[in-house]
Structure 1
């Protein structure tokens, strides 16, 4: 399991410390999502993978069980470990989403990400506008301020923005809406990665203004305005991401 913000932090080359178990999970999972291990292929034997990754059989087996739980592989008697069809992958799993960041751009997949994000975050913004507490508004204002003072720092800017979206999901009072956090983070990072080479400071200023307006709408209890502003933020991220396809 990875922590929220891990993908954003990876933009600066920082990665969380990993033990052997998570190392193997990451190496194989990343290989599957990016196509190194194609769907339908059979992974190497235990002996080969143990030598390749420098781990024991116990560590390897536990890693494969984790990948199987994520829907990426399937162990078959007398056949081996087979890479599962993408339709079986757990796309809401933050780690699976993390691996997609380095995969080849896929228009349909990116569109699907934004469809899901818009549907769930719009609802979260509406609910949070009516259910938020004074303390939750203070938290949202704090992170909006952190976005503002980040200026040209992409990482702190995006981390603060992610915290706003996580706080909105929390304020919605719907535990299931929190599951969209991984999708939000991936789409934010893709937006930053593929954004046209315009003035970074102006982009940040516009993004801060949108989020400040969203927090203000929620503070007023204006659910309709909050939904519109959330959709505007998501549309901005989508337009910048889809620019990669020309």
Structure 2
């Protein structure tokens, strides 16, 4: 799996800015912008932790060592550690240091954390977890959307689907329409928590077009259209059972690429 990480030095510091295919996604959907020394430092440390360079239980380098290594201020380091602590990755203890917490404490649905998994090469464990959660989550959300949707919800889902049809071959625009399709479905559940779980699908959709070849992505998008149409038709008919089945069939078509997980 290719990640295409390229490194360039950050101006006026020793911090190496790692440019990634996910930069555009993080700018749009991430919680910590990739700009300035603080943003790049948070993402660099996050990748190192999630990727295993700093394993669970490891005490991170102390402030003087990080100042020397990256050429950045103690203030930036302290704020970055607080940010990572807020994502559940580390715990900060006075006179002990900053330690990497057990993975069970990490906020895996945090957009930045999910992106770091993909950037560093997602493990079998995380891919199995994502696969399992999507199987449990999406069909039920689709069924609820069919049962609760308004005419406006159906119009939004239909509009996104029509854009998917019209943009086959343009993998980026098509993927954006695909995300709007699923976002509209989750919104149609009229459940505010469901609506916030769309990030799980958003990262997966973006990862697919980023980590796979153009032709493979384009063919996959074309192949998925009938499954999306079946979902749209079921929701428009307000048929929850049909919507649930259509969603499962879409996931089965997507998960064929992940049988090893």
Same fold (TM over 0.5): yes
CA distance in 2, matches of 1:169, 1:50: 44
Shift in CA distance, 11/230, structure 1 to aligned 2, threshold 3 Å: farther
- How many angstroms does 1:18 deviate by? 1.6
User: Residue in 2 aligned with 1:65?
Assistant: 82
Instruction: Answer whether contact 1:190 1:241 (CA < 8 A) is retained.
Output: no
Instruction: Answer whether contact 2:22 2:115 (CA < 8 A) is retained.
Output: no
Normalising by structure 2, we get a TM-score of 0.80
CA distance in 1, matches of 2:177, 2:21: 15
CA distance in 1, matches of 2:40, 2:51: 16
Aligned: 1:232 with 2:238:
no
Tell me which of 156, 160, 171 is aligned to 1:154: 171
Where do 5+ consecutive residues of structure 1 fail to align?
1-9
Q: Alpha carbon RMSD of aligned pairs, Å?
A: 2.4
CA distance in 2, matches of 1:197, 1:19: 31
Alignment of 1:32-181 (within 5 A): 32-181=49-198
Aligned residues between the structures? 235
Instruction: Answer whether contact 1:218 1:226 (CA < 8 A) is retained.
Output: yes
Greater helix content: 1
Which protein has greater RCO, CA pairs closer than 8 Å, 6+ apart? 1
CA distance in 2, matches of 1:86, 1:120: 22
- Secondary structure at the residue paired with 1:101? helix
Where do 5+ consecutive residues of structure 2 fail to align?
1-19, 28-33
- Secondary structure at the residue paired with 1:173? coil
CA distance in 2, matches of 1:124, 1:115: 15
Encode CA deviations 1:59-79: one digit per residue, 9 max, x unaligned. 221111111011101112222
- How many angstroms does 1:223 deviate by? 0.7
